[in-house]
Every structure is written in C-alpha cells, then in structure tokens.
C-alpha cells in the first residue's frame, strides 16, 4: 500500500519508536526490503537517493516503477521516498512519477536560502499530497570522522530547527547530532549528543530523522529511536550485511551469490526493526 510519510512518522514520534528507511539501489534490494516489511507486518520508508542516478544504478523512472510496483502488491504501508534531492526540478519529476515523499537537502546553504527553497518545495508537494523532509545542520561523512569534535558535520541548534519548521511547514526534519554518512574512519563508533536530541525532540513539533545510522552502534540507535528519532536512514549496513552473508556461504555461482546477498540484506533489515522497534 503506497502512502506518504505523515501518519507513519507522527505515530512513531508519539509512541517512541523508529521507522527504518532503507535506500534501495536495484530491483532485488527493493524486493528484499518490502518482503521483510510484509513478513513483520510493519511499515517502512523505501528510499531512493538522487546520487544513485548519477552512479548508473537506476534511472529515476526505473526507481519510481520499482517502488510503486512492490508497494502496491502489499497491504503493509510503504512510503516511496526520494532521499537527498538537491535540485527542485529533480524532486518535482520524482513527485510526477509517483514518489509520495521527498527530501530537499539544502543543508549546506545559508539558513535563509534553505528556508526559502524548502518552503517553496513544501507548497508544491503538499498540493499534490506529498510529504517533505529537510535537513538543518549538516550530517558529514564517516571518512572525515575523527571524533565528535573533529568531523565535517555541522550540528543542529534548537533555535534554528524550531524557526526552520515554523517558517517552512516541513513534515519531518533531519538533524545532526553526531552521526555521519557511510562507513566510519577506522571503524570507530560515533559519540552522539543525546542531550541535543532531547532538546530537539522537546522543542521541534515534527518528527525527527537520523541520517548516517550505519555503523553507529546498536545501543546508540536503540536510544535514538526511543528518545526522539522517528525515521532512521540506512544504506551502508546493507552492503555490510550482504558481504557478510556472501563470505559465510561461499557461493559457487552468480545466482548463489545473489541469493546470499539478498539473505544478508534481509537479515540486516530484521535487525534494524528489532533495534528501532523493540
């Protein structure tokens, strides 16, 4: 069942749990994620990132067809979400193709420009029944992470987050509290600022989103979901899970390798549900 994110994330915020938002990158990964959601009878946010188009993995049209196809085959609520969209034309095309949620990432722009661009996108998307996520602060990369104090992240302030939501009408807000995208340098786990998360959760009226969850540690993620994060983005952990299963099985053929990779991704998503929704 294809839905937007509003009711799903508002329920998660109200009841203190997190909804997994796995990034799919081909048909198999999308199928795996929806099958696990069906198995557990829980909603998910099926995400596709704009950057994946540039990597030659899927076109936007292909991603839209795949997401709609699998979502409409199940009664479990599935959000088809465009992740980290960086230009309005691309997001509008995604909406026209059937995405039910979009993220405009203008987090590296000035506060004023982020507000202006996000507010315009909210107006466009809401008129079409689509929800909008934005980011305030900036979640950096794991490759540049040495410590909480030494990273390329820009941490979210409560004052800017509250003002941003009020001025844009955005439906959910990605915040920076110490995580980073991709694998962490030297495989270290980040130190997260839970005090800031508590302050944001109390002051910001819309559901909060965590980017860069992969490799952040189960206890950190369990606390995030219980203490204010309603949506948890995941990608790198699925690559890790797929490779672990491939190495464990030692497939002799290409089809066996694909089956092992799918099993590894499914196991990782089951683990995510167990962490975010105990």
133-148 confidence digits (pLDDT tens): 999 986 655 444 445 5
Six-digit token pair at 90?
A: 């691309």
- By residue count, the chain amounts to 278
**In angstroms, rounded to a whole number, what is the distance separating the alpha carbons of residues 141 and 179?**
8
Q: Do residues 239 and 187 lie in contact, with contact meaning Cβ atoms separated by under 8 Å?
A: no
Q: What is the mean pLDDT of the chain?
A: 90
- Where is 190: in which H helix or E strand? none
Domain that holds residue 218: 2-276
Six-digit token pair at 267?
A: 């196991």
The DSSP bridge pattern shows strands 78-85 and 172-175 to be unpaired
**In angstroms, rounded to a whole number, what is the distance separating the alpha carbons of residues 109 and 98?**
28
**In angstroms, rounded to a whole number, what is the distance separating the alpha carbons of residues 224 and 179?**
11
- Which pLDDT value is given to residue 145? 47
Report in angstroms the alpha-carbon separations of 192 from 197, 202, 207, 219, 265. Answer: 9, 17, 18, 11, 26
Residues with Cβ within 8 Å of residue 12, at least 6 apart in sequence: 18, 19, 207, 230, 231
- Say how many domains are in the chain: 1
Q: Which residues are catalytic?
A: 83
pLDDT in tens, the chain (278 residues): 999 999 999 999 999 999 999 999 999 999 999 999 999 999 999 999 999 887 778 999 999 999 999 999 999 999 999 999 999 999 999 999 999 999 999 988 999 999 999 999 999 999 999 999 999 986 655 444 445 555 545 688 999 999 999 999 999 999 988 877 544 445 466 678 899 999 999 999 999 999 987 777 889 899 999 999 999 999 989 999 999 999 999 999 999 999 999 999 999 999 999 999 87
pTM to 2 decimals?
A: 0.90
- Which pLDDT value is given to residue 184? 45
Q: Under DSSP, is residue 138 helix (H, G, I), strand (E, B) or coil?
A: strand
- Which CATH number is 84's domain given? 3.20.20.70
pLDDT per position as a tens digit, 173-197: 999 888 775 444 454 666 788 999 9
Residues with Cβ within 8 Å of residue 224, at least 6 apart in sequence: 18, 177, 192, 197, 210, 213, 232
Six-digit token pair at 26?
A: 């081909």
- Which pLDDT value is given to residue 83? 95
């Amino acid at each position: 069942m294809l839905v937007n994110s509003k009711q799903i994330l508002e329920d998660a915020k109200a009841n203190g749990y997190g909804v997994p938002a796995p990034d799919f990158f081909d048909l198999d990964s999308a199928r795996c994620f929806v099958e696990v959601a069906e198995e557990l009878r829980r909603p998910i946010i099926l995400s596709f990132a704009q950057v994946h188009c540039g990597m030659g993995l899927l076109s936007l049209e292909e991603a839209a067809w795949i997401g709609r196809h699998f979502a409409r085959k199940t009664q479990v609520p599935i959000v088809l979400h465009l992740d980290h969209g960086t230009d309005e034309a691309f997001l509008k095309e995604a909406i026209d193709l059937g995405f039910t949620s979009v993220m405009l990432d203008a987090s590296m722009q000035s506060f004023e420009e982020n507000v202006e661009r996000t507010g315009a996108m909210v107006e466009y998307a809401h008129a079409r029944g689509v929800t909008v996520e934005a980011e305030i602060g900036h979640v950096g990369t794991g490759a540049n992470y040495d410590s909480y104090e030494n990273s390329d992240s820009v941490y979210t302030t409560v004052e800017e987050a509250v003002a941003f939501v009020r001025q844009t009408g955005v439906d959910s807000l990605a915040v920076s509290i110490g995580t980073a995208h991709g694998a962490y340098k030297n495989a270290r786990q980040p130190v997260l600022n839970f005090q800031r998360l508590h302050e944001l959760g109390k002051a910001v009226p819309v559901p909060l989103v965590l980017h860069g969850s992969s490799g952040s540690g189960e206890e950190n993620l369990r606390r995030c979901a219980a203490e204010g994060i309603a949506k948890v983005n995941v990608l790198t952990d699925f690559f890790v899970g797929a490779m672990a299963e491939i190495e464990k099985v030692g497939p002799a053929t290409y089809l066996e390798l694909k089956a092992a990779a799918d099993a590894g991704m499914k196991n990782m998503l089951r683990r995510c549900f167990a962490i975010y929704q105990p």
